[in-house]
Amino acid sequence: MNDLNHDANKHTDKNSPLIKQLLGFALAGLAGGTLVLGYLQFNQAVPKTPVASPNMTALVDPSALAAAGVSQEQQTIDLYKRVSSSVVNVTTRSFQYNYFMEMVPSEGAGSGFVIDKEGHIVTNFHVVNGAQRFFVAFGNMEHSYPAELVGYDQRSDLAILKVKAPGNLLNPVSLGDSSKLQVGQTSIAIGNPFGLGQTMTSGVVSSLGRKIQVEENRVMSDLIQTDAAINSGNSGGPLFDSAGRVIGVNTLIYSPSGGSVGLGFAIPINTVKRFIPDLLKYGKAQYPWMGISVMSLSPRLAQLMKLQVSEGLLVMQTSPTGAAAQGGIKGGTQRVYIGNYELYLGGDIILAVDGQPVKVENDLLTYLETRKRVGDTIQVTILKGGKGKPINLNLRLTATREQ
């Protein structure tokens, strides 16, 4: 939930019967668990959207190869030969103070891939986070080239580097369409696990649209799940389909042991394609903003508050300059405290956006991040007089990267 600095009109005594019931209900609901996840970066001590060009990695239709009698094994071998030159190893260097307050270097390693002939490299934010120097190596890693950080976005875990390397080494990948992915199709990962250099693993797309909580207040949505073995150091590397198109960026593994257990997650390439222009032009992602903080309703909470619906998003606060307030959406006027949480009750209830029901806060966040851009119009359906009332809002840019 957002915490907007917006005064309430009324303060409610926390000793009232309703507040006592809400206190017990909300404390139980707020006691949630978080998945144990492993970022894939390997650490050790010591502006245009890319378009197809003749220099891009060539694509081959797997069905045509099969019809020509080329075995599955040979297809995989050929794919590696075609696309591996587009995959790079990213090394970072940072400087930290040790126990004796001496400045010592620390290195990290991840993966990435070339997206244009200008030398732009896509990788993960957590690969470059906190580093001061960046290096990119191609192929056999005999030589690395300096790179600079062009743009990054923590929420989507994406970053772009620009490497100063000879043009003959810059072989851009072909970007696929993750909206057409199906569970069961081939997925192939190439990267730099444990700093070992070019490594290829294969599997299938195990699931789509995964939501993973990576931090207390951050959820990564719409992730691709794959059983292709990916490990520390694969961060930022590409996930290919059988035709050699990039369908995702490897970013997370679920691993109680720290190694691959067949549960890897990749950022869909359509998400990457959406943010590349922003990262190249502004150095950061541009997120649309509604200017509200919300709380998810539940049947029990709705019953206690005597609401007419049991699902939706209760608007607690609105920013005076936000699209929601400008469109007439109202925040709460009853301020209550539940433990360390400050809540505002009595505001409008959002039932749907663009006709799609929203039940939890992340439904709204995900829709804004994946479907909308700054300047777009969104239709928000709120509860009025016992039925839905549509309101059109013009989405604005947020500096805080919240709703």
Q: What is the CATH number of the domain that holds 83?
A: 2.40.10.120
Q: One digit per residue, pLDDT tens: the chain, 403 residues?
A: 333 333 333 344 444 544 444 444 444 443 333 333 444 555 544 344 444 444 466 676 776 766 666 688 888 899 999 999 999 999 998 876 666 766 666 778 899 999 999 999 999 999 999 899 999 999 877 788 999 999 999 989 999 999 999 999 999 999 999 999 999 999 999 998 887 778 999 999 999 988 888 776 677 888 999 999 888 888 899 999 999 999 999 998 887 766 677 789 999 999 999 999 999 999 998 888 888 889 888 887 777 777 778 889 989 889 888 888 888 899 888 887 766 767 788 888 999 999 889 888 888 888 888 788 888 899 999 988 778 889 999 887 754 444 4
Residue 242 shares a structural domain with residue 306: no
Residue 167 lies in a domain: yes
User: Of the residues 85, 156, 206, 235, which is catalytic?
Assistant: 235
| End-of-domain residue from the set 237, 265, 281 | 281
For residue 211, being part of any structural domain is answered with: yes
Instruction: Report if residue 349 sits inside a domain.
Output: yes
pLDDT at position 1 is: 36
Same domain, 209 and 314: no
Residue 346 lies in a domain: yes
Q: Per the domain annotation, does 152 fall within a domain?
A: yes
Structure tokens at 102: 């001496």
Give me the phi and psi of 225, to 5 degrees please: -100, 135
Domain boundary among 281, 297, 316: 281
The pLDDT of residue 338 is: 67
For the chain, what is the domain count? Answer: 2
User: Tell me, what's the pLDDT at 29?
Assistant: 43
376 is catalytic: no
Residues 19 and 52 in one domain: no
The residues pairing with 389 across neighbouring beta strands, listed in sequence order, are 382
How much is the CA Rg of the chain, to the nearest whole Å? 24
Q: Identify whether 42 is part of a domain.
A: yes
Q: Would residue 267 count as lying in a domain?
A: yes
Same domain, 134 and 207: yes
- Are residues 250 and 352 both part of a single domain? no
Q: Is 178 a catalytic residue?
A: no
Tell me which residue has tokens 């040979």: 74
For residues 123 and 177, membership in a common domain is answered with yes
292 plus 263 within the same structural domain: no
Residues 107 and 146 reside in one and the same domain? yes
* Given 116, 157, 241, 363, the catalytic residue: 157
- Read off the pTM: 0.73
Same domain (yes/no): 226, 313: no
Say if residues 318 and 325 touch (Cβ distance below 8 Å).
Answer: yes
Domain containing residue 24: CATH number:
2.30.42.10
The active-site residue, picked from 126, 178, 202, 278, is: 126
Pairing relationship of beta strands 288-289 and 292-296 according to DSSP bridges: unpaired
* Pair 291, 319: CB distance under 8 Å: yes
Residue 357 lies in a domain: yes
Nearest Cα to 305, choosing from 5, 9, 12, 1? 12
Task: Look up 257 and say whether it is catalytic.
Answer: no
Of the residues 260, 281, 302, which one is the last residue of a structural domain? 281
Task: Verify that 305 and 168 share a domain, yes or no.
Answer: no
Spatial distance between the Cα atoms of 134 and 132, rounded to a whole number of angstroms: 7
Question: Which stretches of 48-165 are assigned E, i.e. beta strand?
Answer: 87-97, 103-114, 120-123, 133-138, 144-153, 158-163
Q: Domain range spanning residue 76?
A: 38-281
In this structure, the answer to whether residues 78 and 211 fall within a common structural domain is yes
Shared domain check, 234 and 127: yes
